[in-house]
């Protein structure tokens, strides 16, 4: 019975890792749609978001089923509860990719990003996808050191976000208020995506050590 339960916990981790892949792909495509004014790709991200929502629902149903049908010991209970929270973080990452895609669609056929800030978003997109991929690895391996390493990737995103604001606040900004608002919101979407990836990693650390890291 115990072996079956551990197998089910492993399946739950696989579901989360799959979600991490899905949201990483969503942000990669959303970034490409944003940078290349690709309406078809933006629409694909928007349509595919329901799959992330469904994956979260399945993971939660699986987790609650384990709670209801088994009598988990403290460590297992920690795993199941942390999984529920991690699924929420991953769904939110999918929502943030969705927001990027919707912004690209809303401004089409016009480009959303002024040329001056496009390199920042290309790099923020790269970091976001890397974070999602590493979160998936951490979920599968429960590697505490790798989980803590996501903090460094998040610092990279924060640095990009700060530099982006330097451009926005420059007296040389000549693209108007509407463009500044779009850039501000989009920058926030990427920053929050990274924050949620770090949150997932911290929950893995909590599963393994019983202590939740603080930022």
Q: Can you give the residue ranges of every domain in the chain? A: 2-209
Residue 76: the pLDDT is: 77
Q: What is the mean pLDDT of the chain?
A: 92
Average pLDDT over residues 133-157: 94
DSSP the chain: -HHHHHHHHHHHHHHHHHHHHHHHHHHHHHHHHHHHT-HHHHHHHHHHHHHHHHHHHHHHHHHHHHHHHS---HHHHHHHHHHHHHHHHHHHHHHHHHHHHHHHHHHTTS-SS-GGGHHHHHHHHHHHHHHHHHHHHHHHH--HHHHHHHHHHHHHHHHHHHHHHHHHTSTT--SHHHHHHHHHHHHHHHHHHHHHHHHHHHHHHHHHHS-----
pLDDT in tens, 60-79: 998 888 877 666 666 678 88
Q: What is the pLDDT of residues 27-44, one digit of tens each?
A: 999 999 999 999 999 999
Give the pLDDT of residue 28.
98
Q: What integer pLDDT is reported at residue 145 of this predicted model?
A: 94
Q: What is the pTM of this model?
A: 0.94
Which of 57-66, 85-94, 133-142 is the least confident region? 57-66
Looking at residue 6, what is its pLDDT?
A: 72
Compare 192 and 2 and report the one with higher pLDDT: 192
Please report, rounded to a whole number, the percentage of residues in the chain having pLDDT higher than 90.
Answer: 80
Provide the pLDDT confidence category of residue 80 given band limits of 50, 70 and 90: confident
Q: Answer yes or no: CATH 1.20.58.220 is held by domain 2-209.
A: yes
Decide if pLDDT at 1 tops 60.
no
Whether the pLDDT of residue 195 is over 60: the answer is yes
Q: Is 207 exposed, middle or buried (0-12, 13-18, 19+ CB in 10 A)?
A: buried
Q: What is the pLDDT of residues 153-187, one digit of tens each?
A: 999 999 999 999 999 999 999 999 999 999 999 99
């Amino acid at each position: 019975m115990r072996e079956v339960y551990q197998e089910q916990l492993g399946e739950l981790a696989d579901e989360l890792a799959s979600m991490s892949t899905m949201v990483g792909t969503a942000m990669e495509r959303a970034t490409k749609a944003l940078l290349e004014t690709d309406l078809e790709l933006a629409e694909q991200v928007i349509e595919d978001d329901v799959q992330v929502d469904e994956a979260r629902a399945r993971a939660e149903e699986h987790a609650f089923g384990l709670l209801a049908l088994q009598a988990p010991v403290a460590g297992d209970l920690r795993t199941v509860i942390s999984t529920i929270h991690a699924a929420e973080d991953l769904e939110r990452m999918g929502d943030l990719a969705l927001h990027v895609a919707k912004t690209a669609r809303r401004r089409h056929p016009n480009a959303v990003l002024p040329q001056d800030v496009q390199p920042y978003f290309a790099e923020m997109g790269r970091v976001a996808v890397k974070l999602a991929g590493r979160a998936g690895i951490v979920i599968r391996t429960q590697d505490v050191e790798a989980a803590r390493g996501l903090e460094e990737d998040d610092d990279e995103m924060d640095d990009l976000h700060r530099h982006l604001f330097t451009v926005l606040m420059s007296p040389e900004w000549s693209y108007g208020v509407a463009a500044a608002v779009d850039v501000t919101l989009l920058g926030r979407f990427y920053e929050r995506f990274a924050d949620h990836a770090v949150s997932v990693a911290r929950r893995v650390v909590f599963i393994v050590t019983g202590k939740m890291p603080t930022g």
